[in-house]
Every structure is written in C-alpha cells, then in structure tokens.
Amino acid sequence: MTATPTATAVKEAAEGVGGGPVRFGTGLLRTTVHGGLWIREPGPLAPAGFHPLPTPLPETPPTPGVRLVHGEELPGGARAYRGLSGDESVAGHLLRHGPHPGLRPALHALGRALAALHTAPVPVPVPSGVPAPSTASRGWARLDAWLAGRAPEVWAAQAASVLRERLGAERWHRLRDWTAELAADPALVVSHGAPGLGSLVAAAPVSGPAADGPVELLAGEDLCLAPWYSDVGWAVGELTELAWQLSGDSRAWQSLVDAVEEGYGRSLGPLRPRLAALRIALHLHDYTAYVGWQPETVERFAGFLGYLTGFGGPTAPGDH
C-alpha cells in the first residue's frame, strides 16, 4: 500500500521526536502526539479541510501565561504544533480527573487568549489569491446543514429525525433559529472558530489549586470571522456537556465556566444555555456522523437538549 502525502508528512515531522506516538481521533479529526509535538489532520470523513491561515496573520496582543500556537501546514493538509508544554489536553485531564481547582488557571487563560484574539483588526477585503479569514465557522456550518436536513451521513440524518421528534417542532425550530441568528450576526471579530478543550494544552494543570503553568491554545485550523460569543459559547458549551456527562461537584464545574468568562472579561449571560445547546447539538451530529450510531446516546442527548432549548426563544442580535 502506498502511503498518502499526509501520512508521509506526519511520519517525517515525527522523526527524531521522543515520547509517543499516541494516536486518537474520529472520522472528523485525527491527532498524533509525540510529547511536545502535536499533529492534527482532518479525518477520512471530514466534509472539509482545515481553513487556510490568512496572510498575514492577525496581530494579537501578547497575553501573559498563554500563547496561541498556529502550527505549520504539512503536505496533505495536516498541521504540526511543535514545542508544546504538555502531551495531554485539558479535555483529557477533565475526562480522567473530573473538575479540579487546578484547571481554573488554564481555563482563565483560555478566556484571556480569546479576548486578545478578538481584538485583532478584522481584515479588509484583500486582493484575489491572498488568503483571508473565512467568514464561516466549519463547525457551525456542519450544524446548520444538519438541522436543515442536508447531512450526507446516513446515521447523522437518522439522529436528526429522532431529535426532531423528541424535541417537538417548537424547540427544533428554536435550534435552527439560534444557528441562523449566529450566522447572520454582522458584528464579526477574528475568531478561533472551534476553541474546544481538546485544543487547550496545559502543563500539569491538576497538580493543585495553585498550579499555573504555561498554557497553549492550538489555533491553526478554524480561524474565521464570527460574533464574539461564538468562541466563548463553544468553550462553555463543552464544559456544560462534560458536567452533564461526568456529573460531580456542580460548584466545581461552575467555577470552570466562570473562569472562562472571567478570563474573557465578559459573561455570556442569557446566551449561555442557547450556545451550550448549539455546541451539544453539534457534538451529537459529529458523534453520529463520524464515530458511530448508538440509539441510547441519541436519546440521552435529546433529553438534555430538550432541557436546554427550554430557555426562551430567539432574541435580536443587538441584544447580545
């Protein structure tokens, strides 16, 4: 069998690097970790490759204790992130240890990093052929297509059918309205696009309440233009989902949500449940499309989404 350009590039990038490799991923995204070298690539079922980085990159103010790592593009569309401080993401720490005070500094740093990125000047139209930030998030585009009945994956389409029946017409359309409002909001900032906890790397963040090591946010795959609350809501939505999935001390989970918003310097307020609902609905789509079909999983998600979509209807973008 002939190696693909991506496989060859990943192998060459990892030559001479110790620690690993550890490989994990889905049909959407695959990750290979060699100690402080992380290589991420679109999975075999990904509907689109990573967004090309704009040229030049937006200027972001220095943020003490946290840095954005854009990485480098490898042949075939993968990206290599070198010199990272850890070999496990904050998502991995949460899954293994649950909520812990030692994670607050990392999540506060995530909020600060997003706030700094959002102050970058929005690029004006550039000459043809020069990459600029996309005006659409890859993730929200997948969600919009799924809710509109355009999901190409059969199990994702089946999950949408079940979800729509369980939610009922009003709450289903509420999800669609919220997604459309986010996409139509003209107040755009330079955004990470998918600041998930799996993209946040911190050195030993669970060693104790005073832990405050270096934090890195991988940011080379989805850079785009979106409303400010898109990024913050993505991170808070993931914490909300993990709190629901893993349970544990609710005050500890809330403390981590607060850390993101405090680091960012602005609270989501009443937008929090709707953005959590959108992120969790997207995860349900991604799971059924790129991991597998589990009827009981769809039913569980439908129950939680029914709860989250009960927090009021659409509001005008100007209310944000």
pLDDT in tens, 281-307: 999 999 999 999 999 999 999 999 999
- Cα(320)–Cα(308) distance, rounded to whole angstroms? 18
DSSP summary character for residue 214: -
What is the structure's pLDDT at 210? Answer: 42
pLDDT tens, position by position, 57-107: 888 988 988 999 999 999 989 999 999 988 889 999 999 999 988 899 999
Mean pLDDT of the region 158-170:
96
Q: In the structure, what pLDDT confidence band is assigned to residue 10 with cuts at 50, 70 and 90?
A: low
3-state SS class at 289: helix
Statement: residue 209 has pLDDT above 50: no
CA 45 from centre of chain: 18
Confidence at 15, pLDDT banded by 50, 70, 90: low
Confidence of residue 35 (pLDDT cuts 50, 70, 90): confident
The reported pLDDT for the residue numbered 136 is 83
| Percent of the chain whose pLDDT exceeds 90 | 71
User: How is residue 106 written in tokens?
Assistant: 């990392």
Count of CB atoms situated within 10 Å of the CB of 283: 17
- Model pTM score: 0.90
Position 58 scores a pLDDT of 86
Q: Which helix (H) or strand (E) holds 4?
A: none
d(CA 208, CA 141): 39
Could you tell me the two tokens for 271?
């937008």
Give whole-number Cα distances, 139 to 144, 221, 230, 283, in Å. 9, 11, 11, 9
